[in-house]
Amino acid sequence: AQSVTQLDSHVSVSEGTPVLLRCNYSSSYSPSLFWYVQHPNKGLQLLLKYTSAATLVKGINGFEAEFKKSETSFHLTKPSAHMSDAAEYFCVVISGGYNKLIFGAGTRLAVHP
């Protein structure tokens, strides 16, 4: 079965510094991976997706993620954090014949002035 593990439950950065949110996956075949963001009292929003094309995936709001098969990782990065990036971030893998999404436990990103 496919699964993802988010290695940090909380990450705190200063505004303008880089962001790194770590995710490892487990899959018996080439996975389809996503990062979603959830702002307080808002719905889940897709940041980016990897579907076996380019290993470096660019998403919205300056985020990107790199698929590394040798490390079974799909870490999310952003060169410079903005206050509006403070939110919960979920690493997600597609599983099963009906393409259901399997979510990690989430990483709460705090951005300080």
Partner 1 sequence: DTGVSQDPRHKITKRGQNVTFRCDPISEHNRLYWYRQTLGQGPEFLTYFQNEAQLEKSRLLSDRFSAERPKGSFSTLEIQRTEQGDSAMYLCASSGREFGNYGYTFGSGTRLTVV
Q: List residues binding partner 1 (CB under 8 A).
A: 32, 34, 41-46, 49, 51, 90, 92, 94, 96, 98-106
**Residue 18 contacts residue 77 (beta carbons within 8 Å):** yes
Residue 60 Cβ vs partner 1, minimum distance, rounded to whole Å: 14
Residue 45 CB, nearest approach to partner 1 (Å): 8
Cβ closest to partner 1, residue 45 vs residue 84: 45
User: Which of 29, 98 has the CB closer to partner 1?
Assistant: 98
Q: Letter for the amino acid at 11? A: V
Rounded distance between C-alpha atoms, residue 82 and residue 97, angstroms:
38
Residue listed under structure tokens 């702002």: 39
Q: Which residues pair with 24 in a beta bridge?
A: 5, 73
- Min CB(101)–partner 1 separation in Å: 7
**Nearest CA-CA partner of 40 in 104, 85, 80:** 85
Residue 2 or residue 73: which is nearer to partner 1 going by CB? 2
